[in-house]
Chains A and B, each alone.
Chain A
């Protein structure tokens, strides 16, 4: 009988093997290059366009708020790219027949796949923030990088983990790669925000249990929470997302959906 220590070490080694395989796969399929190019190119637009045709905002907070309002989009795109087909691909393309017959535990395969999708998505977000920080230093000096900037960065990372968990969950329950990727993309991009808006403005209930309700926290740290009762652009709302509630919801989404996905994927059989 193997000792528990050896067993754990073997599982860790197998997980690392899956992670490295997944990363190589993303690299080979040019997903890494596309998403890294987006992470550098998108913030550059906010620097080059005002530099050539207009002027920069007065404060570093306003610049960061404008620039980082698009990081959500990048999280959704790269999350769908890396996690959309992570599990479902093995079942649809029947590559699982080779993979699942290895002596490696199925749980380590799926945990490795999850980490293999999460790591590049987190890297993409980090590159976006790094590019933005270079721009801020270039325009406003090092004083432009405030504590709020780091706060926004860490919230964006937590939001990324929850978004990846949701897309990974769809990947573990659906039968086709394209359905899983599109459902992951559109649920974060349209479906959940629409449900959230309907609940807020028509039903007049705070949608605290919907993940995308808190996506605005990434930029709210620069300009404060949206005011309750209205604003100059007529953004009348009765609710304002709470920072700590948002973090808790993201945390719960990440952990619960991660375990559910791994549980469902390990019990799934080839058809």
Chain B
């Protein structure tokens, strides 16, 4: 009985010590994350625009991204990528770019989109860590599909075949009668 009680006490003691150390360990983690945040450059995407607001499929659109360096020092080794989210496609990527302190750079991409709704997302990364992202949606009017004459032609073929099939038995009967009369001759 005594042994069980002793064990129970030591178990409670371990938990209490653990709980006491928890805030200390959390504060260490906080320090670490603050340090990482401090090291990350302050860069933002200020603009993401399209040269046409109502483009049609097949049009060439220029996608412009403006990236601003909010720090006074120059920042290099920035990666800027452009992704078509709905279509799950990487459009382009600018690697190891540098922006001067308190300055901004504009990146242009010539894009020939497919018809439909697109979600274009620009992302700035530094050493694999995402600094900022911005998304814009755009509707690209699809190219008209097909023509009006083909279904009309298909309908004409169908009606000719169906109504024409009424004649087939008479023609077959005529041909067989002709052949049998020839055989008789």
Residues of B within 8 A of A (CB): 57, 86-89, 114-117, 119, 137, 141-148, 150-152, 154-155, 157-158, 161-163, 165-171, 173-174, 177
Do residues B148 and A154 form an inter-chain contact, with CB atoms below 8 A? yes
Given A108-B169, A262-B165, A227 contacting B145 (CB threshold 8 A): no
Do residues B86 and A115 form an inter-chain contact, with CB atoms below 8 A? no
A176 vs chain B, min Cβ distance (A): 26
Closest 6 A/B residue pairs (Cβ): A224-B142, A243-B146, A154-B151, A227-B116, A7-B170, A4-B174
User: Which residues of A212-242 have CB atoms within 8 Å of chain B's CB atoms?
Assistant: 217, 220-221, 223-232, 236
Do residues A232 and B145 form an inter-chain contact, with CB atoms below 8 A? no
Do residues B162 and A258 form an inter-chain contact, with CB atoms below 8 A? yes
The CA of A74 and the CA of B114, in the complex, are separated in Å by 32
Interface stretch (choices A8-16, A38-46, A137-145, A181-189):
A8-16
**Residue in A115, A226, A229, A244 whose beta carbon sits within 8 Å of that of B88 in the complex:** A229
Residues of A within 8 A of B (CB): 1, 4, 7-8, 11-12, 15, 105, 107-108, 111, 114-115, 118, 147-148, 150-151, 154-155, 157-158, 161, 217, 220-221, 223-232, 236, 243-244, 247, 250-251, 254-255, 258-259, 262
Do residues B150 and A244 form an inter-chain contact, with CB atoms below 8 A? yes
**Residue in A111, A115, A220 whose beta carbon sits within 8 Å of that of B145 in the complex:** A220
Given A223-B142, A224-B115, A154 contacting B87 (CB threshold 8 A): no
Interface SS of A by simple majority? helix
The CA of A115 and the CA of B165, in the complex, are separated in Å by 11
The CA of A217 and the CA of B144, in the complex, are separated in Å by 12
The CA of A118 and the CA of B162, in the complex, are separated in Å by 11
B residues within 8 A CB of A147?
Answer: 148
Q: Could you name 11 residue pairs across A and B whose Cβ atoms are closer than 8 Å?
A: A1-B177, A11-B166, A147-B148, A151-B151, A154-B148, A224-B144, A225-B115, A227-B86, A227-B87, A243-B146, A262-B165
Do residues B162 and A115 form an inter-chain contact, with CB atoms below 8 A? yes
B residues within 8 A CB of A15?
Answer: 166
Do residues B116 and A224 form an inter-chain contact, with CB atoms below 8 A? yes
A258 vs chain B, min Cβ distance (A): 6
Do residues B87 and A229 form an inter-chain contact, with CB atoms below 8 A? yes
A204 vs chain B, min Cβ distance (A): 16
The CA of A107 and the CA of B168, in the complex, are separated in Å by 9
Given A4-B174, A220-B145, A231-B86, A247 contacting B168 (CB threshold 8 A): no
Do residues A108 and B166 form an inter-chain contact, with CB atoms below 8 A? yes
Given A148-B144, A232-B117, A232-B119, A12 contacting B155 (CB threshold 8 A): no
